[in-house]
Structure 1
Amino acid sequence: MTDCCSTPGLMTLHEGLEKLMTETPIVTETETVALTDCLDRVLADRIISPVNVPSHDNSAMDGYAVRFSDLAQHSVLPLAGKSLAGHPYQGTLPAGHCIRIMTGASIPEGADTVIMQEQTETTGQGIAFTKLPSRAGSHVRYAGEDIPEGCQVFEQGHVFKTQDIGLLASLGIPSVPVIRKIKVALFSTGDELKLPGEALGLGDIYDSNRFAVSAMLKRLGAEVIDLGKLQDNRDEIREAFLKADQQSDVVITSGGVSVGEADFVKDILNEIGHTSFWKLAIKPGKPFAFGRLPNSVFFGLPGNPVSATVTFQQLAAPALRRMMGAKPAPVTELSATCLTPLKKQPGRLEFQRGILSTNEKGEAEVVTTGSQGSGILRSMSMANCFIVLPTLQGNLDAGETVKVQMFDKVLG
């Protein structure tokens, strides 16, 4: 028995991605934002460190700063002073003496080694050392050891992560140039759609796709223009397209790209723009449309919630990252033993939802989230990965090795 949705000649996921990457424009307008506002933004120009990090030689331990050469001549060194973070010792370390020093404090001039306090004893004559270092420089952090002045810290296209904010602050950088946020207009179509909180009538469903896609867009750092849900009315949908095209860089719809009598989106797209492709050899997500409007690009996501989520993550998200000028996001893939049998008809590349874990031997194992229907959104909520099954793959028995693709930032 063949899969009724496995139509020969459908465009592959790889071919679809290539067209997306070729036909989506890159936003070049920039703006400068404060350090506190650059999280998830795309860097518009490289960043060169204006300072050394650390800015001065300093101690990695609480202990005593000494001249290494003095240790060969003296078993006890008198204390000449102290150096605290923010309150360095003034002057040069006298020969044959030591300085009390705390973590992060400047190494006094003349000192070249720090001995941790656990390896010392205090005597009436000064500080005795119970264990001596084998070389000069022990427990000293040198100026520029982490980042030297003039070093490139971030390249153009870098997307700032939480840990990058502290690094920028350590360089004394108060603001950064970033690509402006891309504007994405989003709406859903369907007479059956209701908002959460509204009562459901016979045949109605809640509009989950628009909320899920909006959340994923925000994870990408896009500015979302939510145009709400539309009825299956050609004039209303056409007007929404024209309005969205004027306001945004990207227009995304959910539903209306299938083959039903009330699926107007694809027809309207061809009236005011053009369709680059429609339908891909993937499951879930076959009815995915991509095209151009006069001022924007268009992504038509399927109406089924899992299909909409999968196609956004696999197709729309990489294209949106490119439009934002961001470097491609790495894809984490690995092999795992599948502990559950898998049902699959040959014909389409398939993304089944899975839960990856590690057994007591440290080996990767994966199980499915259960039923893999494209309307079962709980299968996405439970999962932490996709089990990626090749186009020609059929059913698999439990215990076979499968390729697993971990959820990325968009879904994580």
Structure 2
Amino acid sequence: MTSGRRSVEEHEQHVAALLRPLHEKNTSRVPLAHALHRTLAENIDAPIDLPPFRNSQMDGYAVRADDLSSTPAILPVQGVLAAGDAVAALAPGHALKIMTGAPVPDGADAVIPVEDTRIDGAGSVVLERRVTPGTYVREAGTDVRAGEPLLPAGTVLAARHIAALAAVGLTAVPVRPRPRVAIISTGSELVTAGGELGPGQIFNSNGPALAASASANGADVVDVDHCHDDPDEFVKMLDHAVKVADLVLTSGGVSKGDFEVVKDTLGPRGGEFVSVAMQPGGPQGTAVIDGVPILTFPGNPVSALVSFEVFARPALRAAAGYPPAPSRIVPLTADLTSVADRRQFLRGRLDENGVTPFRGHGSHLVAGLATADVLLDIPADITSLEAGDLVKVLIL
């Protein structure tokens, strides 16, 4: 089915409603080794004190501070404590050589760094500075106490969070589900990188680009396929995709040509194809097959990626528990003109002075897109702006 023209805002609302079920999947527990970039679904409290015992902050000598009433002091060395040793007891008037991380012995209340000592030939150590109780001693629970909050729900786990979770002994954590996404790029002119280009052929960039975009925004990419302009081949790939994915993204085959395999196949199966008042990325479509939503994007590489940024990225990030994609309001560094009645998403680059729009806005200029780091979001009712005017930019 083909309907009329939509604004970007109308199509955003349509897509958001279509993809709302992605947000309703159940929480799962994953091993800590697989939790990087996942979003915590629940608050995590520390199950143990951290540190779990008093330990030494330095390589040096554990002592009683009162035994160093005057310096230099000479104390017999009782023994050596390494990290991982059992807790010992320090005899009065003695020192225990101790390594960083080793348990501070009972009776000791301070550590003197090794650089403030020297060895006496008679099995004793010369301690050349006075210390106060607690010097270079890490007390149990000074990082976090058992039962105290460690990480809140909604945390997108980075390496520093994995370190904290591992330090308290957790092996698995509850996380938000990652939507499973399948990608199908269409076009008989496309060749997979590594193949040989024939006359009229180009390498397929949409499949890898959409897969990378989905993965970067919280999805698990479960399938990446390329289909020729053959309806039977497309149906076969689509039937597989909806079995393994929560969302299918397609590129190409949605315009007004003679070989629009996506539109020709999905239209009779309830698909809806519209012209969205935007540039690039005007031809858009949606469908639901066997309960799985499908977003169909144009085939030009820039159009496909801009379509993902505007329509798919917000829903995927929300489903994965990621914060919204960043945007900023910045000044233009150069004048620009924009097409009337179409919301423009122009490529540009940020620096300390603002944003510079690129010259040349063809939807095939994928190498030019690679040098951009933002999209300038120009409203449909704006036809020109001057240097210094403020514009919204979407961070790529």
TM above 0.5, yes or no, is yes
Q: For residue 329 of structure 1, what is the amino acid of its counterpart?
A: P
1:406 aligns with 2:395: yes
Deviations 1:175-220 (A, max 9, x none): 4455665433321223333333232323x33321112112333443
Deviations 1:76-112 (A, max 9, x none): 4425444332235611x34455443332222222333
Residues 252 and 21 of structure 1: CA distance in aligned 2, closer, same or farther (over 3 Å): closer
Q: For residue 352 of structure 1, what is the amino acid of its counterpart?
A: L
1:377 equivalent in structure 2: 366
1:345 equivalent in structure 2: 339
Q: 2:384 aligns with which of 387, 395, 399?
A: 395
2:198 equivalent in structure 1: 200
Deviations 1:242-287 (A, max 9, x none): 4433343222110122333433534543432454x84444433233
Query: Larger % of strand: which?
Result: 2
Q: 1:315 aligns with which of 303, 311, 316?
A: 311
Please give the TM-score of this superposition, normalised by the length of structure 1: 0.77
Q: 1:169-180, aligned counterparts within 5 Å?
A: 169-177=166-174
2:81 equivalent in structure 1: 83
Q: 1:45-56, aligned counterparts within 5 Å?
A: 46-56=43-53
Q: 1:288 aligns with which of 267, 278, 284?
A: 284
Residues 143 and 286 of structure 1: CA distance in aligned 2, closer, same or farther (over 3 Å): farther
Q: Distance in 2 between matches of 1:144 and 1:280?
A: 58
Deviation at 1:70, TM superposition (A): 5.0
Does the 8 A contact of 1:85 with 1:103 survive in 2?
A: yes
Q: Distance in 1 between matches of 2:9 and 2:310?
A: 14
1:367 aligns with 2:356: yes
Residues 348 and 111 of structure 1: CA distance in aligned 2, closer, same or farther (over 3 Å): farther
Does the 8 A contact of 2:317 with 2:324 survive in 1?
A: no
1:113 aligns with 2:107: no
My pick for the range that moved more, 9-18 or 384-393, is: 9-18
1:74 equivalent in structure 2: 70
Q: For residue 71 of structure 2, what is the amino acid of its counterpart?
A: S
Deviation at 1:221, TM superposition (A): 4.3
Q: For residue 127 of structure 1, what is the amino acid of its counterpart?
A: V
Deviation at 1:402, TM superposition (A): 4.3
Tell me the secondary structure at the aligned position of residue 228 of structure 1. strand
Q: Distance in 2 between matches of 1:396 and 1:190?
A: 37
Deviation at 1:33, TM superposition (A): 4.4
Residues 101 and 393 of structure 1: CA distance in aligned 2, closer, same or farther (over 3 Å): farther
Q: Distance in 1 between matches of 2:140 and 2:365?
A: 56
Tell me the secondary structure at the aligned position of residue 253 of structure 2. coil
Q: 1:354 aligns with which of 335, 348, 351?
A: 348
1:299 equivalent in structure 2: 295
Does the 8 A contact of 1:246 with 1:295 survive in 2?
A: no
RMSD: 3.6
Q: For residue 201 of structure 1, what is the amino acid of its counterpart?
A: P
My pick for the range that moved more, 281-290 or 113-122, is: 113-122
Deviations 1:341-386 (A, max 9, x none): 44433544443333334xxxxx464434543322111122222333
Deviation at 1:305, TM superposition (A): 0.7
Deviation at 1:54, TM superposition (A): 2.0
1:63 aligns with 2:60: yes
1:3 equivalent in structure 2: none
Q: Distance in 2 between matches of 1:263 and 1:381?
A: 27
Q: For residue 378 of structure 1, what is the amino acid of its counterpart?
A: A
Does the 8 A contact of 1:189 with 1:253 survive in 2?
A: yes
Q: For residue 203 of structure 2, what is the amino acid of its counterpart?
A: Y
Gaps of 5+ in 2: none
Residues 9 and 43 of structure 1: CA distance in aligned 2, closer, same or farther (over 3 Å): closer
Q: Distance in 2 between matches of 1:309 and 1:267?
A: 22
Tell me the secondary structure at the aligned position of residue 258 of structure 1. coil
2:260 equivalent in structure 1: 263
1:331 aligns with 2:328: no
Does the 8 A contact of 1:66 with 1:114 survive in 2?
A: yes
Q: 2:100 aligns with which of 100, 103, 107?
A: 103
Please give the TM-score of this superposition, normalised by the length of structure 2: 0.80
